[in-house]
Amino acid sequence: MKTLVLANQKGGVGKTAIAVQLAYFFNLIMKKRVLIIDLDHQRNTSKAIRTGEIAVLSQLTASLLLSTKIDISDVEDAEFVLIPADNAELLRMEKQADKHNSFATNLQSFLKRLIINSMFAS
């Protein structure tokens, strides 16, 4: 499993555009399974991916993924999956600096379980 993170605190630098284009490229052209986790409370990546109507929309949300230990069986088994951002909850979580390490640990643990189970193996 390859992991790409596009992050920059500056707005308008193309993070969403690049993420969406890469997701479609890897899925449609390279025939790879793709999991997009939108961690931005503005939800622009979620909106763009949903507009394409190719990805399966996960019942999980980004805030749930960060705040709890998610069983990977809860992730839809599809070639292209979006775990969408949820505006209000992610914005609230952003302001909880004392829990940021816990959020990161939950995300890291989730990704490790995906790798172990080869759900999104390259």
82-106 pLDDT, tens digit each: 999 998 999 999 999 999 999 999 9
Q: Is residue 70 part of a domain?
A: yes
In a domain, 122, yes or no: no
What pTM, to 2 d.p., does this model score?
0.85
Is 3 part of any domain?
A: no
Alpha carbon distance 46, 92 (integer Å): 18
Residue 81 lies inside a defined structural domain of this protein? yes
State residue 90 phi and psi, 5-degree precision: -65, -40
Q: Taking residues 10-23, what's their average pLDDT? A: 92
Residue 109 lies inside a defined structural domain of this protein: yes
Q: What is the pLDDT of residue 100?
A: 94
In a domain, 105, yes or no: yes
Amino acid found at 111:
L
pLDDT at 120 over 60: no
Q: State yes or no: pLDDT of 38 exceeds 80.
A: yes
Residue 1 lies in a domain: no
CA of residue 86 relative to chain centroid, distance: 11
Residue 14 domain flag: no
What is the total residue count of the chain?
A: 122
Full DSSP string of 16-45: HHHHHHHHHIIIIIS---EEEE---TT-HH
Q: How many domains does the chain have?
A: 1
Q: What is the pLDDT of residue 119?
A: 57
